[in-house]
Amino acid sequence: MSPGRAPRPLRWLGALLVLYLTYPLAAFIVRVVSGHNEGWNGAGLWSALGVSVEGATISLLIGVVTAIPLAYVLAHRRGWLAEAVGVVVQLPLAVPPLISGIILIYIVGPYSFLGRLSGQRLTETIYGVIIAQSFVSAPFLIVVARSAFRAVDPSLGDVAATLGHGPLARFLRVDVPAASDGLRTGMILMWLRAFGEYGTVVVLAYHPYSLPVYVDNLFSSVPLSQAEAPTILAFAVAALAISASHVRLGWMRRGSPPMPAPAAPVSTPATAVGFDLDATLGSFHLQVVHPEAGQRLAVVGPSGSGKSVTLRALAGLLGPGAGRVTYGGRDVSTLAPEQRQLGYVPQGFGLLPGRTVWQQATFGVRADPARAAWWLQTLQLDGLLDRLPEQLSGGQRQRVSLARALATDPRVVLLDEPFSALDAPVRSELRRELRRLQREVNLSTVLVTHDPEEAAMLADEIMVVSNGHVLQAGSCREVYQRPASVAIGRLLGIDNLFEGGVPAGLTTGLPAGQAVLWQVPPEAIRVDPQTAPPNRDRLSVELGLGLVTDVIDLGRTVEVVVALDGGGELRARATELPDLTVGSRCRMRADADALSAWAAPAAQ
């Protein structure tokens, strides 16, 4: 079976269903072609068609105004109330239409409160037809629209909020376009259901005749052949409506306007970020504190440690209850995301579907077209202005997301693993590009990453987090040179870091009994066969004997992994292949001044 092709039994089952659904239609077409096409001059045919079309269209308009907002709310709410509302609005799907009509009689019938208030005009009128059609068809739109809204990437709304768009603008300009395929399908289903409704309409509004009621009367009073005309009309209208659901409004996509003259950003004062966060999301508890210090902060930690949650809290996306946040000494804790003047680049880049590169870059409320043009040109995107997200490579999408964030002249740019999905050459190039931008325009950034090299390259301050708590924070030099534990060293990618067991000959200058951490760089270690004589040089330190467990040729360097006899593992790195193989016994040594030792912080 070729890739992507369904198994044969599934294809046969699908074909059987297609045959079952199309055979009656084909048989009817044959009858019409071979018959006399009767019923076209029947009294009331065209008025009945008009009633059904008018009622279904007005019902759909009511659904667009009410059902789509309700579906949006239900898609973003959890809890018993939302579940209860979801059940209630779907009840008309489960109740037989005749029963629905009886229920509506109790509410809008001639002797009900609403019926008397309206002068008994809610039944036996076009209003009754609309009420009946809306009641049975609205659930179709609600159910489909709720699923469509739930499928929208939440990061799109987050990005729009940080770009200055309020809740209503995010709904109209982000969620509705992103869910448009599902909304269009739901609207067509609602219109068709309303157009074809019989049971509820015949109970609530027998007059004026809708098309189904008209056909029922024909069926019971005249030869069956007289029903051919309304049946053909019903099929034709349904075919047109279904065809409309497949029409893509590509004509609405306009080409990008001529790009204005680029205007370079003006260097702004550094904006340090400080925070005291305490937030709970489900079973995860985030509790991190960081005082304002440098203008470029990196948050490092393993997956699930709370890095992205921290960034979302800084953006205001968790609400004011997440804790205190300050930008350059100004408390912004109570400000909504759209008021914080941020740039935000989420992990998935958050590009808006259906919008070109130019439209993405100028989407921010505070976006300056001239500034957007400068960033697009600087990031080598000025030749891609009319491209859609799916027409861009991963590196190009990342550049577009960054240009969009910077086109608003943000005080702080929040970057959530911006390079994690890119291949090595592109990742390296974009890191250098971002570092250059940080220096040239005094860009203040908070970077979330699991890559220690990336953190060291793009930050002055670093905060190591795990399980929602800060393990260590400080300047990059302090944290990298003096990690507070072996576990932190591993997170920072520091090799050959040990606690206690200081090699003989290494002077620590620490009090006796003090817990010690020590480290030796892989480049400083020499590996010799075990038969080599011990080193008598007082300027070098014996690291011990061990067994070679791996020799890794990295191209420009060679890494040798040795399991020490006393326990632990050392990694040595050299430019040439050593005269050793896996399983060889070896002796390891290093210059004394290459080793460093410091007091291990007391456990908290």
pLDDT at 253: 52
568, pLDDT greater than 60: yes
Contacts (Cβ under 8 Å, ≥6 apart) of 158 = 312, 315, 317, 337, 344, 346, 350
**CB burial of residue 141 (10 Å; 0-12, 13-18, 19+):** buried
**Residues contacting 464, CB < 8 A, separation 6+:** 300, 301, 470, 471, 472, 473, 479, 488, 491, 492
> Chain-wide mean pLDDT for the chain?
89
CATH number of the 273-481 domain = 3.40.50.300
pLDDT level of residue 538 (50, 70, 90 thresholds): low
Q: Who wins on pLDDT, 538 or 293?
A: 293
Q: Is 334:321 a contact under the CB 8 Å cutoff?
A: no
Average pLDDT, integer, range 530-549:
84
Name the pLDDT band for 252 (thresholds 50, 70, 90). Answer: very low
pLDDT in tens, 45-68: 999 999 999 999 999 999 999 999
Q: Where is 359: in which H helix or E strand? A: helix 357-361
Question: Two tokens at 244?
Answer: 């409309």
Please report which confidence band the pLDDT of residue 566 belongs to, taking 50, 70 and 90 as the band edges. confident
Q: Which of 4-8, 397-401, 475-479 has the lowest mean pLDDT?
A: 4-8
Q: Per-domain residue ranges for the chain?
A: 22-250, 273-481, 495-599
| pLDDT reported for residue 145 | 96
Instruction: Specify the pTM.
Output: 0.82
- pLDDT over 70, % of the chain: 96
**What whole-number distance in Å separates Cα of residue 162 and Cα of residue 338?**
5
Model pLDDT, residue 248 = 63
Contact 591, 542 (CB under 8 A): no
pLDDT of residue 43: 86
In this structure, CATH architecture of domain 495-599: Beta Barrel (2.40)
| pLDDT in the model for residue 251 | 38
Tokens representing 441 are 């325009």
- The 10s digit of each residue's pLDDT in 394-437 is 889 988 999 999 999 998 999 998 887 677 887 888 888 889 88
Q: Which pair of structure tokens corresponds to residue 535?
A: 């080193």
Give residue 573's pLDDT.
Answer: 93
Virtual CA dihedral for 550, 555, 556, 559, nearest 10 degrees?
-10
What is the predicted pLDDT for the residue at 220?
A: 79
Average pLDDT value for residue range 131-143: 95
Express each pLDDT in 253-274 by its tens digit.
Answer: 556 678 889 998 887 788 999 9
Burial letters 572-602, b for 16+ CB under 10 A, else e: bbeeeebebeeebebbbbbebeebebbebee
Report the C-alpha gap between 137 and 207 in whole angstroms.
20
519-529 mean pLDDT: 93
pLDDT in tens, 580-590: 899 999 999 99
Mean of pLDDT values over 224-228: 78
Query: What one-character DSSP code corresponds to residue 538?
Result: T
pLDDT of residue 440: 83
Asked whether the predicted pLDDT for residue 250 surpasses 70, the reply is no
**Averaged pLDDT, 339-346:** 92
The predicted structure's pLDDT at residue 5: 73
- Residue from 414, 576, 564, 585 nearest 503 by CA: 564
Pick left, alpha or beta for residue 131 (phi over 0 → left; psi -120 to 50 → alpha; otherwise beta): alpha
Q: Rounded mean pLDDT of 371-379?
A: 91
Cis preceding linkage at 208, omega within 30: yes
2 pLDDT tier (thresholds 50, 70, 90): low
Which CATH number applies to 22-250: 1.10.3720.10, 3.40.50.620, 3.40.50.720, 1.20.1050.10? 1.10.3720.10
> Coil, strand or helix: which one is 20?
helix
- Predicted confidence (pLDDT) per residue in 7-39, tens digit: 888 888 888 988 888 888 888 778 777 766 777
Q: How far apart are CA 401 and CA 31, in angstroms?
A: 59
